[in-house]
Structure 1
Amino acid sequence: MKIAVMGAGAVGCYYGAKLAQHGYDVVLIGRPQHVRAINKNGLHFESGGTSTMIALAASIDPAAVAGADIVLFCVKSTDTASAGAAIAPHLGAHTVVMSLQNGVDNAERLGAIIGRSVVPTVVYVGAGMAGDGHVAHFGRGDLVIGPNDASDMIAQTLRPAGIPVEISKNAQGALWAKMILNCAYNALSAVSRLPYGDLAKGEGVMVVIENVVAECLGVAGALGIIVPGDVREAVAGIIKTMPAQYSSTAQDLMRGKPSEIDYLNGYIVRKGGEMGVATPANQVLYTMVKLLEMQPEQTVQG
């Protein structure tokens, strides 16, 4: 079994590490500084109080997906189009492509680019890059995928590697549930530069989060999306399960990089406008992050 990870950031490196530890042939495709470090020393993987160096292949060339049975597509939503076009010529006829990305429309956008169905995948993992070729895992690691011809194969491949996989008939609703979590915390963590546990202690923060969640559910309802589970309970639970985790938006801004906010709170604002649903709380958070993106140097130094 060969597995290629397109986008060797925190999420890609975490799942690549788990799969390589299980013995699969894994190649990580990522930025030059990470690739150099991994090819020189292996992937430095921290999880559960242990620190391990894992030997696996790494490349900066999207053509490295050639021959892969499964491609874990883990790039930022902003890079879906360019990365999809880069790997498309190198995909095998039977290669299964999974979109492990934030937002709710990446699988559809990617599928249109590569000319095949893409498995929408909801990711629940706390991880961050602690240095070049160094990933730190903070919590969870489970995936939710939609039902299709490859679902059973994916589950049978990933579960033995210690990656819980749930096959859901409502994958779109599950993607929305995850996006609502991101809308609730990502921008606030980025603006405050605080992890979730500390963030939640701020005066008025939980009121803002409740307003954001209510707006998101209003937009979902207007679009006919059934969001599974108790979203408010799940939002509250993040504080307990990932208290030390910084949002991906915060991590991006602290590195002076553009974030995925257009595909999170920004998506809610756009869809709310289309459906006639007011989204003032999401609008404020979206605008604040966009302002910070205009000042990356100040964000890094903050």
Structure 2
Amino acid sequence: MNKSPKIVVLGAGSVGCFFGGMLARAGHDVTLIARANHVEAISKNGLYMDCQGFQEYVAVKAQSDYLPLASADIVLCCVKSPDTESVINHVKTYLNKNAVILSLQNGVDNAERITKLVDNPTYPTVVYVATAMVGPGKLKHFGRGELVLGSLGGKSNELNELSDFFQKSKIPCEISSNIKKDLWLKFLVNCSYNGISAIGQIQYGKMVSTSEVVSLINQITKECLMVAEKEGVVISSAEADQVNHAIGVTMSGQKSSTAQDLAKGKLTEIDYLNGLIVRRGAEYGLSVSANQAIYALVKMLEKNGINTVSQ
């Protein structure tokens, strides 16, 4: 890996801005590809990072076009799961053929979908961070901020270099020996928390203080584990309970990305979260009624354009 790599964040929402901002703060060459209002604010003042450990404006480049991809060594792909194919197809003519792509996305199949479209080395990356954009060029960090890297095609020395790179930039990073399982553990959390947070426009900590919601999370979890097993991923109930509990504690002030999307009247990733469980459940002949209910309610709110931002 280039000792002074050029990093491009593709789809710089709150997750992309957090990790891109952390890398820029560590002195790396970073370009955020973001929406025009964020680009204007960041270009003028820098990216404002209101983090648990610091609050400051971080100097980082920002653009709305895809030209920086031509010289990128590392691409952090942070686009929404429903947009993966369309965005990658659109940018592949710009993309440096030697660039490493890291999929920092929700869901379990984005890296696979990317590799079907481009030949670049692509690694699924599990993200644990609680963030939100609270204004043009302004990021709020609610908790955590670590990455788990892995390869779907066996071990890679490149992963060691990438992990060292992130850790030296003060981003905790581990290499997984079973990235598919780690992807499903994070996916389980997304299915358990995102939709409920969106429907109630409520933070995780408040969610889990309601016993009826905890019971619902437990049922969603059981259904996800049944589907995961059919997919060749074995997760114990104890492992599932541990990861679900940790999210409620370490990200108590966070509203899910699905909640943030609904509040802004935007389409969500629910088709690639609980919706995927519903589809796979039907394929395997499994009853996944709790996931079906969450999926249906979020789709209803999406369809009717409910905007709860002022509530």
* Class of the TM-score when normalised by the shorter of the 2 chains: over 0.9
CA RMSD in angstroms, aligned pairs only: 1.4
Q: Does 1:211 align with 2:215?
A: no
How many Å apart are 1:79 and its aligned residue? 1.1
2: CA distance between counterparts of 1:227 and 1:38? 42
1:280 partner amino acid: S
Counterpart in 1 of 2:245? 236
2: CA distance between counterparts of 1:157 and 1:298? 40
Of 238, 244, 258, which aligns to 1:249?
A: 258
Contact kept? 1:96, 1:150, Cα under 8 Å = no
Of 13, 27, 30, which aligns to 1:9?
A: 13
Please list, as runs of the form range in 1=range in 2, the aligned pairs for 1:48-127 lying within 5 A after superposition.
48=52, 50-127=54-131
How many Å apart are 1:227 and its aligned residue? 3.5
Runs of 4+ in 1 over 6 A off after TM superposition: none
Structure 2: give runs of 5+ residues left out of the alignment. Answer: none
2: CA distance between counterparts of 1:63 and 1:276? 46
Contact kept? 1:28, 1:57, Cα under 8 Å = yes
2: CA distance between counterparts of 1:131 and 1:81? 28
Q: Percent identity?
A: 44
How many Å apart are 1:274 and its aligned residue? 0.8
2:158 partner amino acid: A
How many Å apart are 1:298 and its aligned residue? 4.1
| Other structure's SS at 1:37 match | helix
Contact kept? 1:292, 1:299, Cα under 8 Å = no
Contact kept? 2:12, 2:33, Cα under 8 Å = yes
Counterpart in 1 of 2:22? 18
Contact kept? 2:105, 2:127, Cα under 8 Å = yes
How many Å apart are 1:117 and its aligned residue? 3.6
Contact kept? 1:39, 1:57, Cα under 8 Å = yes
Q: 1:151 to 1:73 in 2, by over 3 A?
A: same
2: CA distance between counterparts of 1:22 and 1:279? 45
Contact kept? 1:223, 1:275, Cα under 8 Å = no
How many Å apart are 1:138 and its aligned residue? 1.1
Counterpart in 1 of 2:40? 36
How many Å apart are 1:167 and its aligned residue? 0.8
How many Å apart are 1:203 and its aligned residue? 4.5
Contact kept? 1:122, 1:178, Cα under 8 Å = yes
How many Å apart are 1:216 and its aligned residue? 0.1
Q: Between Structure 1 and Structure 2, how many residues are aligned?
A: 302
Counterpart in 2 of 1:141? 145
Q: 217-226 or 23-32: which moved more?
A: 217-226
2: CA distance between counterparts of 1:172 and 1:66? 30
Of 272, 277, 289, which aligns to 2:298?
A: 289
2:52 partner amino acid: G
Counterpart in 2 of 1:198? 206
Structure 1: give runs of 5+ residues left out of the alignment. Answer: none
Q: 58-67 or 70-79: which moved more?
A: 58-67
Q: Does 1:271 align with 2:280?
A: yes
Of 184, 188, 203, which aligns to 2:192?
A: 184
1:291 partner amino acid: M
Q: Does 1:224 align with 2:228?
A: no
1: CA distance between counterparts of 2:100 and 2:106? 19
How many Å apart are 1:150 and its aligned residue? 1.9
